[in-house]
């Protein structure tokens, strides 16, 4: 006997059978998740949190995925934190707060503004200075090596301006650069050839 109710029941059972493996494999926040072929952090996040923003998963699993969000291999077990930031459902909020406060206490406040040291040189003065040379040329390398060996902790950058007059009369006086490499003020009265 073939009745519409039985057909409907069979179709419903068939759909339930198809849907149940999917729901069983669904990612749930606050639980570990085993990566399957084709998974990405974005797809895992979308299923677990309803958003493709996977930062919470990435932060909790940096060591497991070697700091690379594209480094997912099937079988890798990821910790899916709770949406509120707890690593597990059993974690208490005060544990999360204490952990963050400990991290904050390790950060040393600095009130000193330390911009990079700006080195200025000219091109076409090989082997002394030229940005096409290794390290910027002999004198630029000498300057940067001296910064390192003297215990300087500040960053530095190199600038190249091919106009000697602008070095002495514009850029250095205006504070655009801190040091002009290989410069002395020439005494043009005693030299037949002066730059600029």
Q: Does the reported pTM lie above 0.75? A: no
The 3-state DSSP class for residue 119 equals strand
pLDDT of residue 20: 35
User: Which residues neighbour 54 within 8 Å (Cβ) at sequence distance 6 or greater?
Assistant: 40, 41, 42, 44, 45, 69
> How would you class 186 by CB atoms within 10 Å of its CB: exposed for 0-12, middle for 13-18, buried for 19 or more?
middle
Tokens of 184: 């002395």
pLDDT confidence tier of residue 186, bands split at 50, 70 and 90: low
Q: How confident is the model over 93-124, as pLDDT tens digits?
A: 676 677 777 877 777 766 677 888 999 998 88
Whether the CB-CB separation of 117 and 153 falls below 8 Å is answered with no
Structure confidence by residue, pLDDT tens digits, 50-104: 999 888 898 888 888 887 888 799 999 998 988 777 777 666 667 667 777 787 7
End-to-end CA separation in angstroms for the chain: 106
Would you give the DSSP letter of residue 168?
A: I
Residues 42 and 24: their CA atoms lie apart, in Å, by 19
pLDDT at residue 4 above 80? no
pLDDT tens figures, 146-166: 888 888 888 888 888 888 778
Q: What is the pLDDT of residue 40?
A: 93
Enclosing H/E stretch for 14: helix 4-24
Q: In which band, very low, low, confident or very high, does the pLDDT at 36 lie, cut at 50, 70 and 90?
A: very high
- What is the per-residue pLDDT for 35? 94
pLDDT at position 47, please? Answer: 92
Residue 22 has pLDDT above 70, yes or no: no
- From the number of C-beta atoms within 10 Å of its C-beta (0-12, 13-18, 19+), residue 132 rates as exposed
């Amino acid at each position: 006997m073939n009745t519409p109710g039985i057909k409907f029941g069979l179709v419903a059972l068939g759909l339930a059978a198809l849907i149940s493996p999917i729901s069983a494999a669904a990612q749930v926040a606050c639980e570990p998740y085993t990566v399957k072929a084709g998974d990405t952090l974005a797809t895992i996040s979308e299923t677990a949190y309803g958003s493709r923003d996977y930062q919470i998963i990435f932060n909790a699993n940096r060591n497991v995925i070697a700091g690379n969000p594209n480094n997912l291999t099937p079988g890798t077990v990821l910790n899916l934190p709770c949406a509120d930031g707890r690593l597990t459902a059993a974690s208490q909020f005060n544990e999360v707060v204490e952990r963050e406060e400990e991290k904050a206490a390790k950060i040393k406040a600095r009130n000193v503004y330390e911009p990079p040291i700006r080195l200025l040189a000219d091109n076409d003065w090989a082997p002394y200075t030229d940005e096409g040379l290794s390290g910027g040329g002999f004198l630029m390398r000498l300057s940067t090596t001296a910064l390192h060996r003297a215990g300087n902790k500040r960053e530095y950058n190199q600038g190249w301006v091919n106009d000697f007059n602008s070095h002495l009369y514009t850029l250095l006086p205006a504070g655009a650069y801190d040091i002009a490499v290989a410069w002395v003020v020439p005494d043009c009265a005693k030299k037949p050839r002066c730059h600029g």
